[in-house]
Amino acid sequence: MNIANRLAGAVLSAALAISVLLAGCSDSGGATKGEVGKEGQSQEETVTLKFSFWGDTIEKKTVTEALERFEKETGIQVEPMHVPADYLTKLTTMVAGNVAPDLGYLSSGAALSWGRDGKLLNLTPLMENDPDFNKEDYLDQVWYEIDPGNAIGMSTAVEGYGLMYNKQLLLEAGVELPPTEADKAWDWDTFVEYAKKLTLDDQGRNALDPNFNPDKIRQFGLQYDPYNMMAAVVSNGGNFLTEDGKGFGLAQPEAIEAIQKLADLMYVHHVSPTPLQTKNLPDTALQTKKVAMTVSGNWALQAFAEQDFNLGVGVLPKLKVSNTLLDGAPTVIFASTKHPKEAWLLYKYMADPESVLPLIEGGLWMPLKKEWYTNPEKINKWAAGNKAHPAGYTEAFMKQTIENGIRTPGFEVKNLDKINALVTPALDLVWTGKQSAEEALRGVEPKVLPLIEGYYGR
Partner 1 sequence: MAGILFALPSILGLIMFVMLPMIASLLLSFTDYRIVNTPKFIGFTNYTRLFDGTDPYFYNSLWVTFKYVILRVPLGLVFSFIAAFLLNMGFIRGKSVFRTIFYLPSIVPAVASSMIWLWLFSPDLGLFNSFLEALNLPTLDWLYSEQTVVPSIVLMSLWGMGSTIIIFLAGLQGVPRSLYEAAIVDGAGAIRKFRHITIPMMTPIIFFNLIMGSIGAFQVFTEALIMTQGGPNNASLFYNYYIYRQAFQFGEMGQASAIAWILFIIILLVTVVFFRTSKSWVFYESEV
113 binds partner 1 (CB under 8 A): yes
Edge to edge, the sheet with strand 143-147 lists: 77-82, 48-53, 103-105, 330-333, 150-155, 143-147
Q: Cα(49)–Cα(80) distance, rounded to whole angstroms?
A: 8
Q: Running DSSP on this structure, what letter comes out for residue 334?
A: B
Using the minimum distance from each CB to partner 1, give the nearer residue, 13 or 57: 13
289 binds partner 1 (CB under 8 A): no
* Chain centre to alpha carbon of residue 11: 34
Of 25, 268, 276, 321, the residue at the interface with partner 1 (CB under 8 A) is 276
- Each residue 406-435 as x (binds partner 1 by CB under 8 A) or -, in order, gives -----------xx--xx-xxx-xx--x---
Of 30, 275, 433, 457, the residue at the interface with partner 1 (CB under 8 A) is 275
Give the count of beta carbons closer than 10 Å to the beta carbon of residue 190: 13
Q: Which stretch binds partner 1 (CB under 8 A): 272-280, 314-322, 356-364, 386-394?
A: 272-280
211 binds partner 1 (CB under 8 A): no
Q: For the chain, what is the radius of gyration of the CA atoms? A: 24
357 binds partner 1 (CB under 8 A): no
Least distance CB 428 / partner 1 (angstroms): 4
Cα separation of the two ends of the chain:
56
Using the minimum distance from each CB to partner 1, give the nearer residue, 17 or 36: 17
Amino acid code (one letter) for 304: F
Q: Evaluate whether 355 touches 330 at the Cβ level (below 8 Å).
A: no
Using the minimum distance from each CB to partner 1, give the nearer residue, 177 or 451: 451
Q: Running DSSP on this structure, what letter comes out for residue 407?
A: E
Task: Report 82-111 residues binding partner 1 (CB under 8 A).
Answer: 88-89, 92-93, 95-96, 110
Of 45, 117, 189, 215, the residue at the interface with partner 1 (CB under 8 A) is 117
**Which sign, positive or negative, has the C-alpha torsion 441, 235, 169, 364?**
negative
Which ranges in 122-252 belong to alpha helices (H)? 124-128, 167-173, 188-197, 230-235
Of 441, 438, 401, 408, nearest to 425 (Cα)? 441
250 binds partner 1 (CB under 8 A): no
Q: Which residues make beta-bridge pairs with 131? A: none
Least distance CB 162 / partner 1 (angstroms): 27
Task: Report 435-454 residues binding partner 1 (CB under 8 A).
Answer: 447
Q: Cα(272)–Cα(266) distance, rounded to whole angstroms?
A: 5
Task: Report 17-36 residues binding partner 1 (CB under 8 A).
Answer: 17-18, 20-21
Total of chain residues touching partner 1, rule CB under 8 A? 46
Torsion angles phi and psi, residue 242, rounded to 5 = -70, 165
Least distance CB 267 / partner 1 (angstroms): 15
Q: Which stretch binds partner 1 (CB under 8 A): 2-10, 130-138, 356-364, 384-392?
A: 2-10
Question: What does the binding site for partner 1 look like in residue numbers (CB under 8 A)?
Answer: 1, 3, 5-18, 20-21, 88-89, 92-93, 95-96, 110, 113-114, 117-119, 275-277, 279-280, 417-418, 421-422, 424-426, 428-429, 432, 447
